[in-house]
Amino acid sequence: MTGPGPAAPLVVSDALLVTQDGGRRVLRGDLRVENGRFVHVGPGAPRAGAEVIDGHRLAAIPGFVNAHTHIAMSLLRGIADDRELAGFLETLFRVDARRTEPDVEAGARAGVAELLLGGTTSFLDLYYFEDAIARAAESLGIRGFLGWAVVDADKTTQSGRPLENARRFLERWRSHPTITPLVAPQGVYVCDQDTWLGARELAMRYGTLCHFHLSETRREVHEHEAKTGRRPAVWLEEIGFFGPRSVAAHAVWLTGQEIDILARHGVGIAHCPSSNLKLASGGVCPVVELRDAGAVVGLGTDSVASNNSLSMLREMHLAGLVQKNQRWDAAVLPAQQLLDLATIDGARLLGRESEIGSLEAGKKADFSLVRLDHPTMVPARPEAIVSHLAYAASDEAVDSVFVDGGPVVRGRRLVRGDWDEIRARAEAAAEPLWAARKG
């Protein structure tokens, strides 16, 4: 399986470049893209042989990295609103048991379309039927880091053994240029020690990531502590699971000891504020303390069943407000750090900071063009652009999106898919799932 060939050379001229490079430079200049990579970032790019986009009224920004999703659940937006996690999951598990590979693909295509139209160019997913999700991601042109959900064999609705299903998925997609398969143990509530260590061994054998839920609710933590005598992060360290290629979603209910454990082992954290707030998890992920301890923190939306949006712009805004309010400190997690979470830190979380997450020569050309004349971007001043992105910008301000230098959105229209067709299939696939929501 291979992706499309390299796009033709491209120059974006006279744009406001929000580079997210080491110096976090914001400057007027040009981008030149060749063979899917930036070859020039700054004033005076050569234009020979390239398509030229006039960027005077545009800002060029790195593509967002959504660090935790269940993208195929786009069909379930609103299906279990206003319920805490246990009740929410009761509905979700009942509906999930009825899902088929075709409806997962229909949901994934709708979700990927939403991501792309909001400027997201990479996403980290946790689900099953990931082949269907990989096909959806490949067809629309997004970069997918896709984790096959692994649970204990006696707790699964999957056909066959989850670990073996994950291994086969890794084999099928391991060489794809834009799809990275990985292993995703669901959480301590459905994975015993053998499942966790089996997932770790599989990830090490294939040189890929492990992605999992961790300490999302007090109930999860207290039930595991009652069962094992250890809090989840402490227990996972003791059984030898943690490693530098681990990404934990949520991490709301952590002690200082657990923060130190996660940082020491290089475990990345996907912070999902909207989902945690809506499901009344009750706590706030200790983003500041995790970062101070040296942990890498990215930003995720979770699924639209619990968010109910895939907008990284909205997630940045909320992440900042929650941390400031919780600490009574308006200076906590400022706009620049919020943009870092959504771009370069998300790339670092995936171990891909040398390839994506910033506008720098040599990196893959994953970026968005944002309209500076959109109402949420006025006044369009260089010194305000990072603030506008973190606190004000609407997804509607995202005009065009590129992955590997090729257009996937132009003028707010998908390039590699038809939204009307995607929507129609999603609506049809959602019908039996919604009929099943009450048993």
CA distance 288 to 295: 10
CATH 3.40.50.1820 assigned to domain 64-349? The reply is: no
Tens of pLDDT, residue by residue over 162-208, are: 999 999 999 999 999 999 999 999 999 999 999 999 999 999 999 99
> In which residue ranges of the chain is CATH 2.30.40.10 found?
10-62+354-414
- Topology of domain 10-62+354-414, CATH: Urease, subunit C; domain 1 (2.30.40)
pLDDT for residue 84: 81
Residue 232, preceding bond cis, omega within 30 degrees?
Answer: no
Tens of pLDDT, residue by residue over 242-287, are: 988 999 999 999 999 999 999 999 999 999 999 999 999 888 999 9
pTM above 0.95? Answer: yes
Helix axes 312-327, 335-342, angle to 10 degrees: 130
What DSSP letter does each residue of 134-164 carry, written as one string? HHHHHHHT-EEEEEEEE--GGG--SSS-HHH
Q: CB within 8 A of 412, min separation 6: which ones?
A: 117, 396, 398, 399
Which helix (H) or strand (E) segment holds residue 60: the answer is: strand 58-62
Greatest alpha-carbon span in the chain: 67
CA distance 417 to 152: 37
Range list of β-strands (E), 316-405: 367-371, 398-403
CA distance 119 to 399: 9
Sheet holding 268-271, edge to edge: 64-69, 120-127, 143-150, 179-185, 210-214, 246-250, 268-271, 297-299
> In which residue ranges of the chain is CATH 3.20.20.140 found?
64-349
Helix (H, G, I), strand (E, B) or coil at 56: coil
CA 26 to chain centre: 24
Backbone angles phi and psi of 340, in degrees to 5: -60, -45
Residue 263 near residue 294, CB atoms below 8 Å = yes
Residue 148 token pair: 């096959």
Q: C-alpha angle with apex 100: 120 to 148, nearest 5 degrees?
A: 55
pLDDT for residue 4: 56
Q: How confident is the model at residue 1 (pLDDT cuts 50, 70, 90)?
A: low
Backbone angles phi and psi of 348, in degrees to 5: -65, -40
pLDDT for residue 87: 84
CA distance 91 to 81: 10
Q: How confident is the model at residue 159 (pLDDT cuts 50, 70, 90)?
A: confident
DSSP H helices in 343-384: 344-349
Q: C-alpha angle with apex 86: 317 to 196, nearest 5 degrees?
A: 85
Handedness of CA 112, 22, 262, 236 (dihedral sign): positive
Handedness of CA 323, 359, 353, 25 (dihedral sign): negative
